[in-house]
Structure 1
Amino acid sequence: MVTSDKALVEQPVPAIPQENRIVMRGVSWQTYKQLMKEVGDDRAWRIAYDRGVLETRMPLEEHEEPKGLIESFVEVIADELGIEVRKLGALTLEREDLTRAVEPDTCFYIQNEALVRGRKINLPEDPPPDLAVESDYTSSSVNKEALYSALGVPELWRYTRKTLLIYRRVEGGYEQCEQSLAFPFLPIGEIPNFIEQSRTIGQRSAVKLFRQRIREILNSQSTGDS
């Protein structure tokens, strides 16, 4: 399934709790930048900006917990593979030439980690993150997929309604797929189960179980290759 930016923009926007977000229209890029400068980085709310529409939202507890676990899972995978990843959280991804900006719930440099190690990210001189993660408990007034596609993020994970959906960037938008681009061996369908287990056994115990599962998969692959 391929979705174009135009089709994404035309989709109806579901109603969401007003107390969780503020939407402002007719906001110029200069006004957006001035606002960001004045409030600084020490803020809890996150932004999405799309050609004059600025949305600010306050993350919910139900939103943050799955995001934190997914971060831990990605770090586990990196450890077990023996690779470097650069986790940059809600990094502000913005391009003035496109008049678009977005802050993911979290993001990672994986394939391009070495290219940006220790650098202050500046698009488009630097590549966008290899993976962006959105944990959706409320809908957005701004089409996030269109934003990420325009900014060139190759892979997007969306955790919503106890389901993890994987999207790869293709010409004109994103295509939902069954395998991660960064981690093709990852059992995507099992991740929501580990998140749910954390509610009863605790977060660190769930991460420990996830690590065991990743080791099983990698050991099985290694045995099969030998």
Structure 2
Amino acid sequence: MTTATPTPPSQQMGAEPVVTLKGVSWQTFKTLLAEIGEDRICRMTYDQGVLEIRMPLEDHEVPKGMLESFIEAIADELEIEVKKVGALSLKREDLTRFIEPDTCFYIQNESRVRGRRINLEIDPPPDLAIESDYTSSSINKQSIYAALGVPELWRYTRQTLQIYQLVEGEYELREQSLAFPFLPVTEVPNFIEQSNIQGQRTAVRLFRQRIRERLQTQ
């Protein structure tokens, strides 16, 4: 019988409460998911016996929400469809891995999953996943996303946006987005900071204007 060993929650100032359990079987994890239900506030990550449970804080959620608004603004300017699926449960039982991104989008593959419930056993993974990191994790989340085949990963941390692209099964840090190569990556954190001064909708409007300028020069 496997015994789950808890790791004490993070005590860092301003850090998200995080509990890590080791030695958790996949069946136990599935039972826990079913018991808690989909309306829970906590976010979970499971990697081959290690379970991490965290509670997102405001400092985590606000940048994530701004990045969502920026992607929606880009989609409007390009007049394309994207499907925002938020903290979609990305689960592969054959890999015994599970992760809930802070948010994720179908962009290139939007038409393949439009209007129906997503099943990763037959559907492609999201084209873009976003992590807003304010707490260090004991789990290598990038390895989970890579195993699931997510083509692009954005990580926003310490007022910096990092863009990773999946290349031959591993993520490589890149200077431009795969989905939106015209995106001024280094400028994005400035727009998020502007939202704290001028307001979120003002920051989105300024971002939209910047995207129009970039598109006009393409």
TM-score (norm 1): 0.89
Which residue type is aligned with residue 24 of structure 1? L
Shift of 1:16: 4.3
Please give the per-residue CA displacement for 1:188-216, whole angstroms capped at 9, x wherever unaligned: 00000000111110111000100111111
> Counterpart in 2 of 1:4?
none
34-43 vs 77-86, which moves further: 34-43
Residue 166 of structure 1 contacts residue 176 of structure 1 at CA under 8 Å; is this kept in 2? yes
- 1:65 aligned to which of 56, 59, 62: 62
Which residue type is aligned with residue 58 of structure 1? M
Larger relative contact order, structure 1 or 2 (CA cutoff 8 Å, min sep 6)? 1
Please give the per-residue CA displacement for 1:98-123, whole angstroms capped at 9, x wherever unaligned: 00000000000000000011121111
> Counterpart in 2 of 1:156?
153
Please give the per-residue CA displacement for 1:157-204, whole angstroms capped at 9, x wherever unaligned: 000010000000012410000010000011000000000111110111
Please give the per-residue CA displacement for 1:39-96, whole angstroms capped at 9, x wherever unaligned: 1111111010000101110001111000000000000000000000000000000100
Q: Gapped runs of 5+ residues in structure 1? A: 1-14, 222-226
CA distance in 2, matches of 1:39, 1:203: 33
- 1:195 aligned to which of 186, 192, 215: 192
CA distance in 2, matches of 1:16, 1:139: 9
Which residue type is aligned with residue 17 of structure 1? Q
The yes-or-no answer on 1:17 pairing with 2:11 is yes
Where 1:111 maps in the other structure, the secondary structure is: coil
- 1:39 aligned to which of 36, 39, 47: 36
Residue 82 of structure 2 contacts residue 105 of structure 2 at CA under 8 Å; is this kept in 1? yes
Where 1:194 maps in the other structure, the secondary structure is: helix
- 1:212 aligned to which of 209, 212, 218: 209
The yes-or-no answer on 1:173 pairing with 2:170 is yes
> Counterpart in 1 of 2:5?
none
102-111 vs 17-26, which moves further: 17-26
Which residue type is aligned with residue 88 of structure 2? L
Which residue type is aligned with residue 164 of structure 2? Y
Where 1:27 maps in the other structure, the secondary structure is: coil
Shift of 1:219: 1.9
Shift of 1:220: 2.3
The yes-or-no answer on 1:98 pairing with 2:92 is no
Shift of 1:26: 1.0
> Counterpart in 1 of 2:6?
none
For 1:76-95, what aligned pairs fall within 5 Å after superposition? 76-95=73-92
Q: Gapped runs of 5+ residues in structure 2? A: 1-8
Where 2:45 maps in the other structure, the secondary structure is: strand
Where 2:52 maps in the other structure, the secondary structure is: strand
Count of residues paired in the alignment: 207
Runs of 4+ in 1 over 6 A off after TM superposition: none
Residue 166 of structure 1 contacts residue 177 of structure 1 at CA under 8 Å; is this kept in 2? yes
> Counterpart in 2 of 1:12?
none
Residue 10 of structure 2 contacts residue 19 of structure 2 at CA under 8 Å; is this kept in 1? no
**Higher share of residues assigned helix:** 1
CA distance in 1, matches of 2:103, 2:124: 16
- 1:136 aligned to which of 107, 112, 133: 133
